[in-house]
Structure 1
Amino acid sequence: MNKYFSSHFHQDKVIVHSNKRDQRCLNIVGRLAPVLLLSSIAATTIFSFYLIFPNPFTDHAILNCDLFEGMWIRDLEGSRYTNSSCVTLPESKNCFKHGRRDKGYLNWRWKPEGCDLPRFDPKNFLEMVRGNKMAFIGDSVAKNHMDSLLCLLSLEEMPKEIYRDSEDRNMIWHFPDHDFTFMILWSKFLVAGEERVINGTSSGTYDLHLDKMDTNWTPNLPTIDYAIISGAHWFFRPVYVHEGDKLVGCVFCNEPNVTNLSVGAAVGMTLRVALDYINGCRECKGKATIVRTFSPAHFENGSWNTGGSCNRTSPLGKHEINIRGSELELRNIQVEEVKRANKAGEKHGKSFRIVDVTRAMLMRADGHPGVFWDNKYMKGYSDCVHWCLPGPIDVWNDFLMAILERQTGIVSQNMSRI
């Protein structure tokens, strides 16, 4: 065989083998084409499903994300509403109207360590509670929370005021487009309590009765779908706690033969009684009871009646708060009582949840009205208990919406793992 022929012979063999490989590849691709097409269609369908509907297979890590452990980070977007755009905003919380000039305290948002906390969405919230009744049960800080939620919901629908008592303590609002009723039921202690009157003068000392409920809120309970319970500030004064004919103890009394109770112990006792009452209410068909934990005050250089003030203009850092302080001790007691009630409630189909604001709000000494509240009855005193509107308190409703979404099994698409 000459060199020329030999060369072309080997080239032809290479070409033949190459053609055979190409043919095999085409056969394989042909056989795989239907599989690849089906896989593509399935992937597209699943992707579209995730975009349109809440994810039913959400990672448990997201569902179990601790929303309440985190930090405040800068956010130039600021508040969803202003002191002038919210027509229901109470005068005493309108800090800008009464002279506050700094606005930087509005440019912070809460960032949980393990996830993102979605911003409050009034449209989705109203859809979630359509046809339901929600009640805030507690003191003036509970009303502060309610006023914040009212401002946020008013961005979607203006409510109608149905009832208001002479002291602005009990109020009812209705959102007709969503058939949603919204109320505040005033209660200092959750249980029955009366102030001691000495020589016709209020003494500031109270007697509480663990065997009697505060009837300002309990008659409404069977009609309420969502109850948000809170309270503690009224316990920072002499309080005698009774159960039947027995004196259990006293807060800030220091009397011989009387058991000294801490504020946390007294709060825990009354909260336990209230949650047990809800668990025992057979005619109550509520979807969830939510306990909002203690909201800390920030008096510096004195207490409320000795010149204490709150003049900060930016949040404290995590390293600047006392993680072993009395506020967190009180919060821990509330959390344990909710866990106990939820365990008992499971037998009756009742749910108890926590909106844990204590750690986040310990850092927000900048969010109180301070001297900018114009209370004609307390001139010269600073309000370092309640919160400016708009202000850091608005995050409580971010928390509330996230908890209700979890309760209904719907997790916000924005609550993504990072």
Structure 2
Amino acid sequence: MERSLINMCNSASVLFCTAILTIVFTFYILNYPRTITVQEYSQTNIVTRHYENVSRSCNLFKGQWIPDMRDTLYTNFSCTTIPYRRNCFFHGRKDEDFLHWRWKPEQCEIPRFSSKTFLSIVQGKTMAFVGDSLARNQMDSLLCLLSTEETPKEVYKDAEDRSMTWEFPKHNFTLMALWSQFLVSATETMFNGSATGSFDLHLDKVDRNWSEKLPFIDYAIFSDVQWFFRQHYLYEGSNLIGCILCQVPNMTDLGLNFAIKRAFQAAFKQINECKSCKNIFTVLRTFSPSHFENGTWNTGGGCNRTQPVKIEDVIGRDSNWELRKIQVEEIETATEKGEYLGNRFEILDITEIMGMRPDGHPGLYGGNTWMTGYSDCIHWCLPGPIDVWNELLLEMIKRQTYSLN
């Protein structure tokens, strides 16, 4: 074909030759096999451009909180999905100092959360936050952040307002909160027909509320611990093997750490053994510290600070670091097994970061009508320092996406 075109050009006018070549070139471009779609090219460019701002060698979780006087990305007025009990300003909180800090890693800067970037990366995907009310707390933060780009649509909510599903139709993105206090199967014990607040935990069986949805999930963010801080009975198979935080004659108290270790072990094993699952990007969000001072939640303890504390006041505090250690050990074990299966496991390590933020809890401004007079020093105000969890999550997803391109 090239030789015939040359012969034509030799025997025809320059104008005619140019016209013929233009037609052939245009046909070639329009019909040439495309190796990357416009969407993929756009997504790759967005990820690469933002990723360049963060070195892969930078430890996102070592740093300090520094002042930041910029407005928050959303407010309790602009985001209409903030749960009643996390809407601190609605319940009378006056100080805003706790909003004006940003997390600064030691060796790099991380960009401010970009809802446009986040939604571009997760387009066509499903993300689930699996765990207790703090997992829901993070999902609600992300919901508010993403709503600055697209208004989400609620498509499911259970009767207790615990598990729910939201969709972002323009980006074909699904966001879920899957309620699971222990990650493993649990049945509340009853006494004279009344709930006791104590559970039978089956350490070798994962909670079906989340496990049945695994085949549809691309990103899974796990977090759990708070519900373990009470008396429970531990089972393997149908055998009672012991308890935690109990004083029962002829029964072994196996300890809080034992139960937490086994629960995360079972959860990550389920992911690696799921035959019908996609290559799931699994994130473990480490233990989120509470900040009760001058007592516990039911003995007058509160959290009235309005500014962060120094790292020196956090390191080694209480049992936070032991609980974090257990979680990290289990995610590292799961990583080794998942590497050959295409599953990726990462740690969203916020224990130290949030240990410095006693100022970010609802305290007495959580609308706890059923617990009047008690402070909530476990959950986090929206907006508030919890938003950094999703800022860091975005950086982790960008690193993962960039490494695949």
TM-score with structure 1 setting the length: 0.82
Mapped partners of 2:394, 2:329: distance in 1: 22
Residue pair 2:47, 2:402 contacting (<8 A) in 1 also: no
What displacement does 1:407 show? 1.0
What displacement does 1:62 show? 2.3
Mapped partners of 1:62, 1:153: distance in 2: 25
What displacement does 1:265 show? 2.4
What displacement does 1:88 show? 1.0
1:357-376 superposed Cα distances (whole Å, 9 cap, x missing partner): 11101111100000001122
Residue pair 2:48, 2:402 contacting (<8 A) in 1 also: no
Aligned match of 2:370: 377
Mapped partners of 1:252, 1:281: distance in 2: 33
1:179 aligns with 2:172: yes
Mapped partners of 2:195, 2:142: distance in 1: 34
Residue pair 2:46, 2:117 contacting (<8 A) in 1 also: no
1:163 aligns with 2:192: no
Aligned match of 1:97: 90
Residue pair 1:78, 1:108 contacting (<8 A) in 2 also: no
Aligned match of 2:259: 266
Structure with higher Rg: it is 1
Mapped partners of 1:56, 1:308: distance in 2: 43
Mapped partners of 1:68, 1:200: distance in 2: 47
Q: Percent identity between the aligned chains?
A: 53
Q: Aligned match of 1:149 in 118, 136, 142?
A: 142
Q: 1:67 to 1:212 in 2, by over 3 A?
A: same
Residue pair 1:92, 1:375 contacting (<8 A) in 2 also: yes
Aligned match of 2:226: 233
Q: 1:180 to 1:260 in 2, by over 3 A?
A: same
Mapped partners of 2:353, 2:326: distance in 1: 17
1:66-92 superposed Cα distances (whole Å, 9 cap, x missing partner): 111111111111421111111111111
Mapped partners of 1:289, 1:107: distance in 2: 31
Range moving further from structure 2, 259-268 or 400-409? 259-268
Matched letter for residue 234 of structure 2 = V
Matched letter for residue 350 of structure 2 = V
Mapped partners of 1:52, 1:133: distance in 2: 20
Please, which runs of 5 or more residues in structure 1 have no aligned partner?
Answer: 1-50, 412-418
Aligned match of 1:54: 48
RMSD, aligned α-carbons: 2.0
Matched letter for residue 163 of structure 2 = N
Mapped partners of 1:291, 1:410: distance in 2: 20
Range moving further from structure 2, 238-247 or 330-339? 238-247
Q: Aligned match of 1:139 in 107, 112, 132?
A: 132
Mapped partners of 2:114, 2:174: distance in 1: 18
What displacement does 1:188 show? 0.5
Mapped partners of 1:266, 1:73: distance in 2: 37
Mapped partners of 1:211, 1:373: distance in 2: 36
Please, which runs of 5 or more residues in structure 2 have no aligned partner?
Answer: 1-44
Matched letter for residue 339 of structure 1 = E
1:339 aligns with 2:343: no
Aligned match of 1:309: 302
Aligned match of 1:201: 194
Mapped partners of 1:206, 1:362: distance in 2: 29
Q: 1:113 to 1:275 in 2, by over 3 A?
A: same
Q: 1:325 to 1:117 in 2, by over 3 A?
A: farther
What displacement does 1:235 show? 0.2
Aligned match of 1:115: 108
Residue pair 1:54, 1:410 contacting (<8 A) in 2 also: no
Structure 2 counterpart SS, 1:211: strand
Q: How many residues align?
A: 360
Aligned match of 1:407: 400
Matched letter for residue 212 of structure 1 = K
1:361 aligns with 2:354: yes
Mapped partners of 1:56, 1:117: distance in 2: 9
Aligned match of 2:217: 224
Residue pair 1:163, 1:171 contacting (<8 A) in 2 also: yes
Range moving further from structure 2, 139-148 or 285-294? 285-294
TM-score with structure 2 setting the length: 0.85
Q: 1:211 to 1:164 in 2, by over 3 A?
A: same
What displacement does 1:56 show? 12
Structure 2 counterpart SS, 1:392: coil
Mapped partners of 1:383, 1:109: distance in 2: 23
Residue pair 2:98, 2:360 contacting (<8 A) in 1 also: yes
1:267-300 superposed Cα distances (whole Å, 9 cap, x missing partner): 1110000100110001010430111111111111
1:192 aligns with 2:223: no
Matched letter for residue 366 of structure 1 = D
Structure 1 counterpart SS, 2:307: coil
Aligned match of 2:33: none
What displacement does 1:262 show? 3.1
Residue pair 2:183, 2:207 contacting (<8 A) in 1 also: yes
Aligned match of 2:26: none
What displacement does 1:248 show? 3.3
What displacement does 1:118 show? 2.0
Q: 1:145 to 1:58 in 2, by over 3 A?
A: closer
What displacement does 1:317 show? 0.6
Matched letter for residue 54 of structure 1 = T
Matched letter for residue 246 of structure 2 = C
Mapped partners of 1:169, 1:150: distance in 2: 15
Aligned match of 2:41: none
Residue pair 1:224, 1:286 contacting (<8 A) in 2 also: no
Q: 1:299 to 1:53 in 2, by over 3 A?
A: closer
Mapped partners of 1:265, 1:273: distance in 2: 12
Aligned match of 2:281: 288
